[in-house]
């Protein structure tokens, strides 16, 4: 990896990109753990409510190393992510003062977040669906859904569809084109890491701008 690529990823010793890159690498390393499936479920669960790194960091290397388990891996991702989303919903619904507010303050979403949550009910299902398939910080949307008292069934259906679509599309592409994609990823790993960190950081900035 070039010095310029490393600089882009790390963004200085104490920069946010450096923190995200190091955290991303640690999560990706869990894909090689002997309890990788349990770790994947754990990462998928907490990412939907509090954790910044999405489970794709584990999903991709796990499917590439065990393509026959691709759809089971995607299923674990989907189920755990939706369950974690329900925790996020509950944090917004019943634990806003105790957990939700401090958490959103930590991510930089202060009092404006509550106003955003109160005004988004009309498009709530589409917001949940869109956040579920993009680099948007999904935890922000799950907590906002609970705070806005978005219909729980609507929330769950939108979460299942979006999370399932995202993880199964990735699993299918890796299953069908695994060797070619593996070679491409290995040749461009530095670029993919940069793209991932930048898109994740941009997702947080976009949500901050929206609220």
Residue 8 is predicted with a pLDDT of: 36
Asked if residue 7 has pLDDT above 80, the reply is no
Asked whether 20 and 197 are in contact (CB, 8 A), the reply is yes
pLDDT of amino acid 129: 74
Q: Regarding predicted confidence, which is higher, 192 or 28?
A: 28
Size (the chain), residues: 211
- What does each C-alpha distance from 133 to 124, 166, 191 come to in angstroms? 15, 5, 21
CA-nearest of 204, 163, 162, 185 to 20 is 204
Rounded Cα distance between 138 and 54, Å, is 9
Query: Furthest-apart CA pair in the chain: how many Å?
Result: 49
Report the pLDDT averaged over residues 76-80: 96
Mention every residue, 6+ apart, whose C-beta is less than 8 A from residue 173: 181
Q: How many Å apart are CA 77 and CA 55, to the nearest integer? A: 7
Kindly state the tokens that stand for 31.
């894909």
pLDDT band at residue 22 using 50, 70 and 90 as cut-offs: confident
Binning pLDDT at 50, 70 and 90, where does residue 43 land? very high
State pLDDT tens for residues 46-73. 998 888 788 888 998 899 888 899 999 9
pLDDT over 70 at 137, yes or no:
yes
Q: What is the mean pLDDT of residues 94-109?
A: 78
Asked whether 91 and 49 are in contact (CB, 8 A), the reply is yes
Q: Quote the CA–CA distance of 196 and 198 in Å, as a whole number.
A: 6
Average pLDDT over residues 65-91: 94
What pLDDT score does 106 carry?
Answer: 72
- Domain spans, the chain: 25-210
Let me know: does 162 contact 131? Beta carbons within 8 Å.
Answer: yes
Instruction: Provide the mean pLDDT of the chain.
Output: 76
Rounded Cα distance between 160 and 177, Å, is 25
Nearest residue to 55 (alpha-carbon basis) of 196, 188, 181, 198: 196
For residues 157 and 164, what is the distance between their CA atoms, to the nearest angstrom? 10
Between CA 44 and CA 88 the distance in angstroms is 12
- Say what the pTM is: 0.73
Q: Report pLDDT for 160.
A: 93
Higher pLDDT, 32 or 80: 80
């Amino acid at each position: 990896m070039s010095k310029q690529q490393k600089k882009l990823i790390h963004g200085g010793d104490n920069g946010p990109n450096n923190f995200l890159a190091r955290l991303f690498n640690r999560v990706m390393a869990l894909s090689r753990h002997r309890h990788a499936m349990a770790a994947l479920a754990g990462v998928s669960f907490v990412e939907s409510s509090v954790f910044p790194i999405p489970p794709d960091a584990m999903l991709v290397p796990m499917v590439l190393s065990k393509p026959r388990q691709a759809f089971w891996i995607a299923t674990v991702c989907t189920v755990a992510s939706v369950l974690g989303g329900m925790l996020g919903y509950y944090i917004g619904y019943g634990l806003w003062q105790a957990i939700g507010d401090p958490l959103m303050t930590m991510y930089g979403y202060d009092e404006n977040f509550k106003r955003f949550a109160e005004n988004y009910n009309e498009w709530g299902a589409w917001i949940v669906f869109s956040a579920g398939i993009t680099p948007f910080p999904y935890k922000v949307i799950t907590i906002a859904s609970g705070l806005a008292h978005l219909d729980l069934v609507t929330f769950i259906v939108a979460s299942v569809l979006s999370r399932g679509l995202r993880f199964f599309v990735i699993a299918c592409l890796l299953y069908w084109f695994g060797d070619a994609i593996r070679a491409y990823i290995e040749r461009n790993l530095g670029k993919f890491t940069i793209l991932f960190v930048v898109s994740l950081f941009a997702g947080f900035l976009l949500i901050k701008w929206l609220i």
